[in-house]
Amino acid sequence: MGQVFRLGFSIALGAVGGAVFYYFNLPLAWMLGSMTITTIAALAGAPVALHMPLRLSMTAVLGTLLGSAFTPQILQQLQYWSAGAVTVAIFVTMMTGVAVFFLMRIGGMDRATAYFSGTPGGLGEMTIVGEQSGGDPRTIALIHATRIFVVVFLLPLFLAGMADLDIPNTARVLAGRPAAEGSELAILAACAVVGYILGQKLPMPGSQVFIPMVVSAAAYLAGFVDGRPPAELIAVAQVVIGSAIGARFVGLDLRKTAKPIILGVISALSMLAMAVAFAYVVAPLLGLPMYALLLALSPGGLAEMSLIALALDVDTAFVATMHLVRILLIVTLAPIFFRAMGWKSNKH
């Protein structure tokens, strides 16, 4: 009963935070508001909790929502996606190198901890592999959680302020097509259930988002569904995922964890600045929309960055696919490169 209460409290608190941000007309109100208030509550010792089954269920719903971006018209854009994937691979390599160097030289971390803290993707996977390689799992997880928080919080504010991109406080997803209802909603619900089950059974990074997205995309491309997902459902997804980000900081002693948090903030800001500069220079050369490439390169979580793209209606299919490419590259190649370099933790 205690866990149920903490979960309910976390979601209710996140909804309040989202409502406050919505009232003040802030961008991506439901995600940023819930994330902010639950983080503050977690650090203050309030009984917030991260409930993975609920988050995974909502991630499957998010994947189903992302599938709505795969309309027949998207097939005309696939020629640009290979260039985007190569760009992501190059940029992730550069970004990881800079982050690892900073965490080792300036942060004073051992090689294993710095390496798996600096790889921008796969919080759970990098923490497990990093611990197996001799790194400090708590530091690795904390730096990744800090990175996700900083990027998810600042990127929408940057787009709304510095870049002057019109960001509504509710999703613009109903602008082009009517919302799905009736039989279409039933089909989308079935896509979410099937995608969730298959995503649990397939051992691949990002499967909880990717598989429901593929199932939903197939329904859209086949013409079974045409309407966009309801904006209310996107708001609920924002609250749950935002609250889950904040709940990651529960139980932290700021006196003991101040250094890795500060290092995580600095490295996240550096990564985000690199993404802005890289997107500004490279997007025109590749013929890609600058904001879409920026969202694709920004080192936030797959679910979080995809949800931002969905809420802003900015090339959602491209952004989600590029983040899947990023996570697959990192989770697959990062441990191989670490072993190839012969690195071991200085603690061993």
CB 92 within 8 A of CB 242: no
* Residues contacting residue 76 through CB under 8 Å, at least 6 positions apart: none
pTM of the model: 0.83
Q: Write the DSSP assignment of 239-269 as a string of letters.
A: HHHHHHHHHTTTT--HHHHHHHHHHHHHHHH
Q: What is the pLDDT of residue 62?
A: 84
Q: What are the structural domain ranges in the chain?
A: 2-340
Sequence-distant (6+) residues with CB within 8 A of 265 are 146, 150
Q: What is the reported pLDDT for 199?
A: 87
Query: What local confidence, expressed as pLDDT, does residue 182 receive?
Result: 83
User: Which string of b and e fits 201-240 if b means at least 16 CB within 10 Å?
Assistant: eeeebbbbbbbbbbbbbebbeeeebebbbbbebbbbbbbb
- Model pLDDT, residue 237: 84
The whole-number pLDDT of residue 103 equals 95
Query: What interhelical angle do 207-221 and 316-340 show, nearest 10?
Result: 150
Q: What is the pLDDT of residue 162?
A: 63
Residue among 137, 187, 148, 179 at smallest CA distance from 35 = 148
pLDDT of residue 52: 65
Q: Top-level CATH class of 2-340?
A: mainly alpha
Per residue of the chain (348 residues), give pLDDT as tens: 477 788 888 999 999 999 999 988 887 789 899 999 999 999 888 888 876 677 778 888 888 888 888 877 776 677 778 888 999 999 999 999 999 999 999 999 999 999 999 998 777 778 888 888 888 998 998 999 999 999 999 998 888 776 555 554 444 444 456 777 788 989 999 999 999 999 888 877 778 888 999 999 999 988 898 887 787 887 888 898 889 888 888 888 888 889 999 999 999 999 999 999 999 999 999 888 888 899 999 998 888 888 888 877 788 889 988 998 898 888 888 888 888 887 664 444
